[in-house]
Amino acid sequence: MTLAPCLPCARIIYTTGIKKVIFRDSYAAYKGIEVEEGVDFLRRFGVEVSHFPKEEKK
């Protein structure tokens, strides 16, 4: 499972200079919270964040 980054991880991602993050599953949904805080943080500071949804099985 590849979750969107939590806020502490997002801070580390930003400070290390990573420019793009791709995630498959929502951290907020996993934790039962309303807001994707890590994603919001990264986007606010110019990091490109993309959601790559998992493929549906046919």
Which residues constitute the domain of residue 35? 7-51
pLDDT tens track for 3-57: 999 999 999 999 999 999 999 999 999 999 999 999 999 999 999 999 998 777 7
**Residue 1 banded pLDDT, cuts 50, 70, 90:** low
Report the number of distinct structural domains present in the chain. Answer: 1
Q: Is residue 46 part of a domain?
A: yes
* Burial classification of residue 38, based on how many CB atoms lie within 10 Å of its CB (0-12 exposed, 13-18 middle, 19 or more buried): buried
* Structural domain includes residue 2: no
Look at residue 17 and give its three-state secondary structure.
coil
Give domain status of residue 57, yes or no: no
DSSP characters for 18-47? --EEEESB-HHHHHT-S--HHHHHHHHTT-
- CA torsion through residues 37, 9, 41, 46, sign: negative
pLDDT on residue 41: 98
Whether 45 is in a domain gets the answer yes
Does 31 map to a domain?
Answer: yes
Asked if residue 1 belongs to a domain, the reply is no
**Prediction pTM value:** 0.85
